[in-house]
Amino acid sequence: MKYFFITGIPAAGKSFLADKISKKLGILHVKIDDLRKELTNNPRFSDWVNFFYNQDEKKYYQSTSCEKQWENIKNQSEAIWPEIKKKINEVIKTGKPAIFEAVNLLPHLIKRDFDFPGIILLGNSIEEIFERNKKAPRWGNTEELQKIEAEAFFNCEGGWYKKEAEKFGFKVFRDSNEAEKEILKYFQ
């Protein structure tokens, strides 16, 4: 059975791509963000699940370096990783092929605990990320905040995802069509 993961910056098109591939191939699309939402009310995980939402977003991005932003993403991902890992293992036990998708699927965690490939999706431009943020807001509820997010996602977080992907041997894509071709090759 085959398994694959897609991670990368928010609003890069991960969910759209995973959904498209799962429908095309008739495989499971496991949205790890759904699991993260389930953990919101669990006292063991709620501080990290809600970490970003508990911040004053504008102040956070104005006062937090790119390195610290990445450290926060890593800390969040590692804090909820035991539950993510449990969910992935439950799917693997079914024996059904699946594509796992979320921002919290960091390459170092996948490489350490699983033996399947994945890609990192970074989006084509700040403008593209900004437009997606406006259509499906993540954190910011104003266009000003959504623009700040888009810039941070693309310029800051994207570089860290890329660095980690290269360190652990995963391919990085800006264009989802190119990423799709790579993923479909794996499932052939």
7: left (phi over 0), alpha (psi -120 to 50) or beta: beta
Query: Tens place of pLDDT for every residue, the chain, 188 residues?
Result: 699 999 999 999 999 999 999 999 999 999 998 888 889 889 999 899 889 888 999 999 999 999 999 999 999 999 999 999 999 999 999 999 999 999 999 999 999 999 999 999 999 999 999 999 999 887 788 999 999 999 999 999 999 999 999 999 999 999 999 999 999 999 88
The pLDDT of residue 46:
87
Angle, CA of 97, 89 and 34, to the nearest 5°: 85
User: Taking a C-beta distance cutoff of 8 angstroms, is the pair 18, 130 a contact?
Assistant: no
169: left (phi over 0), alpha (psi -120 to 50) or beta: left
The pLDDT of residue 148:
94
The amino acid present at 87, given as its one-letter code, is K
Q: How far apart are CA 114 and CA 155, in angstroms?
A: 29
Q: How far apart are CA 137 and CA 159, in angstroms?
A: 22
Tokens for 55, please give them. Answer: 């911040």
The pLDDT of residue 78:
96
The amino acid present at 148, given as its one-letter code, is I
User: What are the φ and ψ backbone dihedral angles of 96, each rounded to 5 degrees?
Assistant: -90, 135
**Would you call 86 exposed, middle or buried from its count of C-beta atoms within 10 A (0-12, 13-18, 19+)?**
exposed
3-state secondary structure of 100: strand
Buried b (16+ CB within 10 A) or exposed e, 127-165: ebbbebbeeeebbbeeeebbbbbbebbbebbbebbbebb
Sketch out the chain's domains with CATH numbers: 3-187 (3.40.50.300)
Whole-prediction pTM: 0.92
The pLDDT of residue 1:
66
User: Taking a C-beta distance cutoff of 8 angstroms, is the pair 29, 18 a contact?
Assistant: yes
